[in-house]
Amino acid sequence: MILLSLITSKFCFEALTKNLASSLKVFTISFFDVNSSELFKTKWQEIKPKILILIKVAAYIFIFIFLEKKSFQF
């Protein structure tokens, strides 16, 4: 069960990072284009929730691994 949840979270993390990477590529292109401030704002609104989800998933994975290591120390 623990292994299954860890594998599932790993696939979820990989999918989020790939999606975020493609969004960041467009985001950086629009960031360096001075004339596209509206595009920049739009892309930031798209990317911001993905970054927050990615941080939450990473925190859950870290906490899960940390708790598993603590439980094996007994």
pLDDT at 7: 52
Question: Which amino acid makes up residue 1?
Answer: M
- Domain range for 42 is 2-72
74: three-class secondary structure by DSSP:
coil
pLDDT at 18: 65
Please report where in the chains the tokens 């696939």 appear, as a residue: 11
pLDDT at 33: 55
pLDDT at 16: 61
pLDDT at 1: 46
The whole-angstrom separation of Cα 15 and Cα 5 is: 15
Domain count, the chain: 1
The answer to whether 27 and 43 are in contact (CB under 8 A) is yes
2 vs 37 pLDDT, higher one: 37
18-63 pLDDT, tens digit each: 666 666 555 555 555 555 566 667 777 777 787 788 788 888 888 8
The whole-angstrom separation of Cα 60 and Cα 20 is: 18
